Amino acid sequence: MKIFPAIDIKDKKCVRLIKGDFDNKIEYKMSPVEQAGQYKYHGFKNLHIVDLDGALTGETVNLDIIDDIVNKFGLKVEIGGGIRNLESIQKYIDVNVDKVILGSAAIKDKNFLKEACEKFSNKIALGLDAKDGYLSVFGWKESSNQLTLDFLKEVNDYGVSRLIYTDINRDGMKQSPNFEETSKVAEISNCPVIISGGVSSIEDVKKAKDLKNIEGIIVGKAIYDGDIQLEELIKEDA
């Protein structure tokens, strides 16, 4: 199972949001590039990055930082946050990002998701961020009134190469991921699923390995707060 250490970027800094609330964030000392270097040093091959500035503006605000991380360390980066058109996807592909995560724009416009999958084969990941079973959009500020599983069934044959499922109620709370709901998503998904939100201990990571159709798990706040040491986490990476 792949381990995806997380870097959330806001105002050129590493931050973590609590339940996706931009007014409730923690800033960390290391720059995003320095943090990525730490992950590379410990042997991680994959990285999950969210451009929070992009999530709010719909622009590739931190493209220079992403470019620096990808090409300095050779990490396989999946990037999300405010990617709402084919031009933005192309910009990330041009700096050698491994996967581009579409979220709000794909939920609002399924044709955009389909077109992106057709144009950028094997490069598009779908980010489904859910709260109480319903998808949330635009930096988690709005509910879409769309049930997660219903939406997935509608787009399952579009050619998405990876699905990232986040339970917003768990994100940044370190109360363990929503394994039950993630299992339901993984059961019907045509592509491998990444678990996100709430990882609190190495036991959570080990538990994720037992689930079917799970490609990996994203670990963020538990690393930053010292609840999981990189030395023990890398042992679970495959």
| pLDDT tens-digit series, residues 115-156 | 999 999 999 999 999 988 889 876 555 566 789 999 999 999
**pLDDT for position 18:** 74
Handedness of CA 28, 34, 36, 39 (dihedral sign): negative
The domain in which residue 216 lies consists of 2-236
Q: What is the CATH number of the domain that holds 47?
A: 3.20.20.70
pLDDT higher than 60, residue 34:
yes
Residue-averaged pLDDT of the chain: 93
* C-alpha of 74 from chain center: 18
pLDDT at residue 41 greater than cutoff 90: yes
Q: What is the dihedral of CA 148, 150, 153, 155, to 10 degrees?
A: -70
Active site residue 225: no
Decide if 26 contacts 220 (C-beta within 8 A). no
CA atoms within 13 A on the CB side of 221: 22
166-198 pLDDT, tens digit per residue, is: 988 876 666 899 999 999 999 999 999 999 989
CB 55 within 8 A of CB 82: yes
Set 51, 98, 129, 167: catalytic member: 129
Q: What is the pTM of this model?
A: 0.94
Q: Identify the active-site residue in 8, 51, 167, 171.
A: 8
pLDDT at residue 25 greater than cutoff 90: no
227 is catalytic: no
| Cβ-based neighbour number of residue 43 at 10 Å | 13
- Structural domains counted in the chain: 1
Mean pLDDT of 37-55: 96
